[in-house]
Every structure is written in structure tokens, then in C-alpha cells.
Structure 1
Amino acid sequence: MGTRPARTWVRPLLALAVLATAGCNSPRDNRTVRVDVIGQSEALAQPLRHGNAPAARLILASTAQGLLSFDARGDIVGALAESWIVEDGGQSYIFRLKRLHWADGKPVHADEVARLLRERMRANPLLLAGLTPDVRAMTDRVIEIRLDMSLPAFLQLLAQPDLAVMTRSGDGTGPYRREPVAEGGPVVLAPAIAASEEPAEGEPESEAAPPVERREVRAERASLALVRFRARHTDLVLGGRFQHLPLIAAAGLNMADAQVDPVEGLFGLAFTSTSSFLADVPVRDALARLVDRDKLAEVLGLPGWRTATYPLPASYELNRLPSAPAWSGRSREERVESARRIIDRWRADKGDPPVLRIALPDGSGASVLFLRLVQDFGQAGLQLDRVAIDQPADLRLIDEVAPFDSAFWYLARLDCSAGLLCDPRVASRLAEARKSQNDEERAQLLAEAEEATVAFSGFIPLGRPIRWSLVGQRLTNFKPSSRGVHPLNALITVPN
């Protein structure tokens, strides 16, 4: 129990560099863009089974489409839908589909798209934050989605790769299609062609889509992906997170080489244990006080990274600034001293606290975080043990980009339905807010739910999520994305 030594990465990386150089000298098609996404090859092969993995989301966004998608900056653009309108004050969303075909040549109809979209929504309950959209086909090419309330940010949710429409056999509508490849080789994506039909009489002809080059996608360990990029054997590395940051320097690159996405979301420790120690609200609040976020930012070494002491990064629908814990304005010394007093009182009444299990992902950056927590919590005499991210734990890291800009997602993600230690009052307020037809009443209910969430201290915020990429010079249209999504058909500027 206790600390584990941080791994040394430099020597393995140098060895990998030699191997990569020896095996990558064959000539390549200049039009093929080579992409390494940090992750497992299984996520590339079966994206519907690994929907939250970066590799799965990349394939879903590349070979299938939702009604909407994101452009290079993270702005909403049409995908399956060629146009859409919002009615009934933001409760009704009506989409007109493009004239498309599946890969087998069959036309895409609205009823099938609606059915598949309903399946994707059921498969991603945390994404929907308790929303229950009613999805139905109105004609062969028109779909309506109705909500119980007005939610302008709902369009951002529909553009998420998790809601890309793909059949169970892996059939999608592009913008790419998979080409057959040898077992163990990269996934080769070729532009999907002949997807559009001739426009019906009286309809304008659609503008020709810009050309998209072939893509060669591999899922790699972070260390190998960085070595391949340094050796110029890949054009783009996607899927970088906080746990991979120390590998940048180890691979001989600079932190300035990383293109960081300006995303918002949740990055912190959620309580999952019902032990008597953690069931005490003052104890949970004391643990949040102990974390030295400035030191964490220093050791992670990402310039400009913003730390956090409360969950919501903005007001959203609250009509006021987010709540801050009572200790947020105090000095570091005052926070630690007050936390020690709380823990010492518990120890005097009930004995020694248990060793706290912290569930973290693999990676040297996660080791850095764990060692920081060992030092911070150790100031109150607490011991920690690190366990795998999917193992039973007392605290579990949440590292997620918000799928849409709304207090509903942040509060629902930290609620009882997410399997976390929670205040039942929050669930009640959220349920009422989802049903409310009055904007002021809804804002008040959300404000009460947010205040209760902060007071309950069921989540220790650390900062904004970290998402970064390594980008080769030929990818002239790559841009940092506010959604953390990088469409493969928007990497290179198309000449006029």
C-alpha cells in the first residue's frame, strides 16, 4: 500500500525509436495522411463497443455521421442533415436529410436513421444527462426530435461522435469508408464516393464537397505514437491526455509542440465509497482542501492549464456565478490547517481512517498525480493506494469533456444515476428542472441543484480536462477544437 515508483520512460522510448526507424523506410503514397491515435486497436475494430475511447470516437466520426458534426474548430456543421430548424422555443428540432446511400447502395431513409439514433442514445445515458429526446421520422427525409424543455445547447450533443449513425454491421455514410487491410495493419480510410443522389426536380444542386485524402489510422501506445511522430513516420497524433504529458519531453519534443484543445468538462476525483469515513461531509470537504492544485499544475508542466475548485466552469443556465466552496478564498496554509483539524477530530472519535484507494488510468502523468495526492493527503496523516481505473475504489478520476454547454450535464454527471456518492436532493431538483416550462423556474432549480452539489463535496475538482495533439506541418487546416474532436477530412487546407 502507498506509493508506487514512477516509471522511467526515456530508455524504452529510445529503443522504440530505433525499431521505428528500421521499419518505416518504405515509400508511401503522398496523399495518405498517417494518423496515430493513442489507445487500443480493439477500439478501431469495434467502435460501437468502445464508444468512449478516443480511437472509437475517431472511427465513428470518420466512417459514420450523426445528424450534425463538428468542423475543425468545434463549430456545428451539417452531416446527415443538410438543413435544420428549431421551433417551439427550442423544444422541437427538425432535420432534413441529405440524399445518401449506405455502402451497399441502399438509400438512407429517415425511419432507419431515427431508429439507429435512438439506439445510440440508449447506449450513452451519461452523455444525455437525463434527457429523454423523442426521435421520430416525419417523412422519408425529415426527422423531428422533441425535448421536454428548451435547451439551445442540444445541437452540440447531436454533433458528438458517440451519436454517429452506424448499423450493427459497421455500415456508415462516410465521409470515409474502410478499405480491406491485412491483419494487424493500420485501418485505411478512403473517401466515400457516390453518396449523393441527383437532386429532385426543383431542388438546387448541392455544392461539390472538397476532396478528402486517404487516411491511415493506427491505435498505438502513447510512447510509440510520440516516437513515430518525432521520426516523421506519422503526420498526426491524437488522443493526448494528462497522463501522457511527461512522454512529450521523454520523446525529445517540447511541450510547445502540443496543440492543446480549449475544452471544458470535468477533471477531478469523485467519491464512490460509502465507508463511514467518506460518508462524513466535513471529511470529504477536508480532502478537497488538502489538494495543492498549483503544485499539480507545476509538475504537469502544461503552460496555461487552468485549475478548478468547483465543478461548473461557467454560469450556463444558472443566471448567477457558480458556487464556490467556503474555503476557496483562504490561503494554502489555512486550508491545510483546517483540514487537519477535521481529520484529527474524526480520528479521535472513531480511530484511524482507512487507506484510501484512488482509481487512476495508466500512464506516467497519472503517476505524477498520484504522488502529488500522496503528499497532499499525507499532510493530514492519510495513506493512499493506487488501483486501476476500472477497479473498486474510494475515489475515482473523472476526466471527461462536456458534450454540450449546459449545467444539466455537469450536475447529472455527478449525480446518483452516475453511480457516485451523491445528495438525493440534487436528483430531485434536476428532475423538476427537466420538466419545467418556465425559464426562471428552471434556472432556480438548477441553481439549487448546483449549490447542493458543491455543499455535498462529492467531487474534488482539479482543473479543466487536458486534450492535446501533435500535428505535422503538412496539416495546414488543423485547429485546436473547443469540443476536442478533429475530423480527418478537415486537416488540410483546400486550395481555391
Structure 2
Amino acid sequence: MNLRPALLIAALLMTAACDKRRDAGRVVVSAIGGDLAIGDPSRTPQGYAARVMMDSTAQGLVRFDASGQIEPGIAERWIVIDDGMSYIFRLRDAEWSNGAPVTASEVVAVLRRQIAARSRNPLAPFLSAIDEIVEMTPEVIEVRLKRPRPDLLKLFAQPELAVFRTRPFGGSGPLRVVNRTRDMALLRPAIDPTRSPDDVADPTPEDEVRLIGERAARAIARFAAGESDLVTGGTFVDWPLIGSATIAPTNRKIDPAAGLFGLAIVNRTGFLADARVRAAISGALDRQAIVGAFLPEWTPTTQLLPEQLDSATVPVVPDWSAVAQDDRLQTIRALVAAWRSAHPGPLTLRLALPAGPGATILYGQIGASLATMGIRVQRVGAEEDTDLRLIDAVAPYDSARWYLATACAPCGEAATAAIDAARDAPDMASRALRIAEADIALAADVAYIPIARPLRWSLVAVRLKQWEPNARAWHPLNHLRAAPN
């Protein structure tokens, strides 16, 4: 069936009844983005559905709970000593998916591979403060740092730092695979090896989660038909599809996601070579029209850092923010006119976006805004050569350096040096100062055009009492509903 996403939803909903979910039976979850085929993050980047699968079956030293806070994973407790330069984790009794006990040496080997300089793990660049990871006893490991990092636990809670075996591939839970295909898996809570077999109750359907990796259109249609309890992983790309389905407002949930949603200026030659031009485009962009085309509650932003975080000063506000919108438009139009007088013909900028209806709306809004400046926009694929590229990313931890380093894609030599200096600062006080300097340098460089915070949404059945919106936009499958009576 070759239907466009909105038509697919309409076709699947023709026989859909009203929502008759009850708090009985297994929880059915649709994860948007790729299939469930997980692999080693140090070698292959993972899609959203695979990240959910990894988090469910192969926890790290610590995990996120329903509210995005840290809870124990393989480590049952930990302490931080030596002025934040050493984290010591005591491992709990845990088993791999084949029943073998988890040992400290195995945990150390996996984590070393994930943070290695040659690793393709997307978190590896933000773990350079780790000096070494060592086995102290069969139950205790130590993470020694070159520089203090109070936010280290939030990185260790990410699925990319889950601890797993490769042969056979599997982790220590909190859920176990009962059966699976590439797109679907039946999961059941792992049995605590410290409990007596006499104390372990037989599993019931209410204990189980059926996880499905699928496209947004099918996930939304499945939920609207009452055949699933959760759609997770929604972004701006698929948000317009919800309007094609009959879903109660109470089921639509928006995360207060922290992160970046804006345009990286990739091509720094030609018209975009001058920082004044880049700043003028950023100032004249109609952010309110862009976000308003999606959701009234989606708030635009004009600055890179959402708040002070671990910087020594408040975030830099661009100079143009104090200038009236009409004057901003006049500035960029004058720059465009001057360029075109020396370079006859239309001025066109390429914009790299992902596929999907939301990206089409975004393209239309950005194109209309730039058209008022005298600039044409050509849409290209997300990975193609371009002038402007969308960054849509949730922050894995709460450091201003993540925002600065992620927005520098690329940026000038001065801004790059300032960001590197923040990374290498020997203590928290000097790090805060270097971050503040990097924020100033990146603002002057105008390598990134902020638009808003990331839009992350879920569809949540009422039975999932434990689901909570949070800044990480992450919802562990073992924290969805209260245990049945």
C-alpha cells in the first residue's frame, strides 16, 4: 500500500473504535525511528527505537527514572571522592541475559570501549575528562577523572553507555527479551538473582511490555485505534500527523525538552562568510511564525544557552535583539542588495532538513522568512552538502559546554579554541569562566541560529500512571505503570 502518511492514518482509522483501554494486559509501546536491531554504540549509531530497546535490556551503571532523575542501574550505590575526581561504584548482584553473573571486569571492558578515542559513540567527545576506569574488586569499579565533572552520572545513564555482552549479545535488564523480531519484541522484567525462587511470582501479562519499532504514521494510527498504550520518540517531523487522528488532548504529552533546535551555518564562504551577514539573517528570522505553525505553546528563543547552567555568567543575548524587527529586515535587505550588485542573479541558500511533513512545514516557514530578506531557499537532504543545516537535539546532560560544542558545527577558530579551553579547564571555577568566554566567542562568530527548544511529544494512555514529562524527553519502559494489585 503506497499511501502518504496522513492517508495511511485515515485508512487505518476507518474501523477504529473509541478508546476502550483498561488497565489490564501487557503494555504496548510504539517507538518512532528505526527498528529494534541494537548494536555496539561505539561502532554503529543507534536510531531512537534501538536506543529504547538498549535502555530496556542493557542498563548502565545508573539509569534515568520516570522523571529524568538518576537511579541505580548495575551499580547499587556510589560515592564521589577526591574533590570530584573519583567516582566509586559498587555493583549489585546482576545477571546477563544468559544467566551468567555480571562482573566488574566485564563492566570495565565495555565502558573503556565506549569512551575510547576511536569510538563512534556520540557521547565519547563529552567524556574526555575520564582518565581511566579500573576494577578495584570483583564488585567495585572506579572512574578516575583528569578534571572534575559533576554531571558525569547523567552521561552514564544514557543508553549509549549501557553495559552489555556481545557474545551472546545482551544486558542485565531491567527487562528481558522473551521473543523478538527486527521490528517487535516482547519484554518481561528480569528476575532479581538475590531473591529466592520461592519468592518470585509467576509473570502475568501485566508485567510484560510489547515494544514495536515503526514509522510515526503507523504508531499514531495504532494508538488511535486503542491497540497501543504509548507512542514515544515523536519530534517536530511527525507532529502534523497527529491532526489526522482522533486522539484526546489528555493523551497528547509534550516534554519540556532541553536542547537545541536551530540552524548551523555550515558553509562559511560566499555570502555567509561575514559574521555581520550571519547575525543579520538570525535577527530577521521570523521565529514566532515558525513555531506557531506547529504548536502555540512552542516558545521561540534567540539565544544559544537556555539558562546560565555551569557558566560563570548569564547567557549572551545577541545585540540585534534590542533592534526593532523592521530595522533588522532593512539591515539584511541592504546586505543582500550589496551582494547582488556584485554577484548578479538570485541569492540562494541551501537548507538541509530530514524527510517528513513537519520538515516540509519548517522549510516553508524558513523559506518565507528568508524570502522577505531577498534570499531564496533550496531544500536538500539532511546529509547533503548545504549552507544551513538543522540541529534538533536533546541535551544528554546539563552543561553549557554541550550546547556550545554541539552548535559549533562548524565555527571559527576563536570560538573553537574557547570551547576547547572550557573542556580542558582544570577545575570548576576556571571551567565556568572558560564556558562564559566560549559563549561570548560563539555569539560573536554567529555559527548557529537558535529557533526554539526541541519539540518532543508522546501519546500516553491514561493507564500509564508513572509516565512523566521531563527535560531529557526519556521514558524508561520499566517506569510506565504501577505494579498491579
Letter of the structure 2 residue corresponding to residue 466 of structure 1: L
Q: Give the equivalent residue in structure 1 for 2:146.
A: 148
Distance 2:146 2:39 in 1: 33
Letter of the structure 2 residue corresponding to residue 11 of structure 1: L
Q: Give the equivalent residue in structure 2 for 1:377.
A: 370
Give deviations 1:269-298, integer Å, cap 9, x for gaps.
112224322222122112212321111121
Q: For 1:72-87, what aligned pairs fall within 5 Å after superposition?
A: 72-87=66-81
Indicate yes or no: 2:473 matched with 1:484: yes
Task: Pick one of 358, 361, 378 that aligns with 2:354.
Answer: 361
Distance 1:185 1:124 in 2: 23
Q: For 1:12-23, what aligned pairs fall within 5 Å after superposition?
A: 12-18=8-14
Contact 2:400-2:435 within 8 A present in 1 as well: yes
Task: Pick one of 313, 316, 320 that aligns with 1:323.
Answer: 316
Give deviations 1:360-395, integer Å, cap 9, x for gaps.
112211111100011011112211111221222221
Q: Give the equivalent residue in structure 2 for 1:163.
A: 161
Give deviations 1:302-359, integer Å, cap 9, x for gaps.
x422211111101112221100111112232222221212222222234446522211
Question: What's the offset of the Cα at 1:476?
Answer: 1.4
Q: Give the equivalent residue in structure 1 for 2:128.
A: 131
Letter of the structure 2 residue corresponding to residue 395 of structure 1: L
Deviating more after overlay: 324-333 vs 81-90: 324-333
Question: What's the offset of the Cα at 1:216?
Answer: 0.6
Q: Give the equivalent residue in structure 1 for 2:282.
A: 288
Contact 2:48-2:233 within 8 A present in 1 as well: yes
SS at match of 1:16: helix
Q: Give the equivalent residue in structure 2 for 1:243.
A: 237
Distance 1:395 1:248 in 2: 28
User: When the two structures are aligned, how many residues end up with a matched partner?
Assistant: 471
Q: For 1:12-411, what aligned pairs fall within 5 Å after superposition?
A: 12-18=8-14, 30-41=24-35, 43-44=36-37, 46=39, 48=41, 51-121=45-115, 122-126=119-123, 128-129=125-126, 131-133=128-130, 134-169=132-167, 170-181=169-180, 183=181, 186-196=184-194, 213-253=207-247, 257-301=251-295, 303-352=296-345, 354-411=347-404
Tell me: CA distance 1:310–1:351, structure 2 relative to 1, closer, same or farther (3 Å): farther
Structure 2 unpaired stretches of 5+: none
Contact 1:98-1:196 within 8 A present in 2 as well: no
Tell me: CA distance 1:227–1:412, structure 2 relative to 1, closer, same or farther (3 Å): same
Contact 2:350-2:380 within 8 A present in 1 as well: yes
Distance 1:190 1:440 in 2: 46
Q: Give the equivalent residue in structure 1 for 2:448.
A: 459
C-alpha root-mean-square deviation of aligned residues, in Å? 2.8
Tell me: CA distance 1:220–1:425, structure 2 relative to 1, closer, same or farther (3 Å): same
Contact 2:123-2:160 within 8 A present in 1 as well: no
Letter of the structure 2 residue corresponding to residue 429 of structure 1: A
Contact 2:93-2:194 within 8 A present in 1 as well: yes
SS at match of 1:430: helix
Tell me: CA distance 1:333–1:176, structure 2 relative to 1, closer, same or farther (3 Å): same
Letter of the structure 1 residue corresponding to residue 144 of structure 2: R
Task: Pick one of 426, 436, 439 that aligns with 1:447.
Answer: 436
Distance 1:227 1:32 in 2: 19
Question: What's the offset of the Cα at 1:477?
Answer: 1.3
Deviating more after overlay: 71-80 vs 273-282: 273-282
Percent of aligned pairs sharing the same letter: 39
SS at match of 2:148: coil
Tell me: CA distance 1:124–1:372, structure 2 relative to 1, closer, same or farther (3 Å): same
Contact 1:68-1:158 within 8 A present in 2 as well: yes
Contact 1:91-1:146 within 8 A present in 2 as well: yes
Question: What's the offset of the Cα at 1:168?
Answer: 2.6
Give deviations 1:36-72, integer Å, cap 9, x for gaps.
111222x445574764422011011100011010110
Question: What's the offset of the Cα at 1:467?
Answer: 0.9
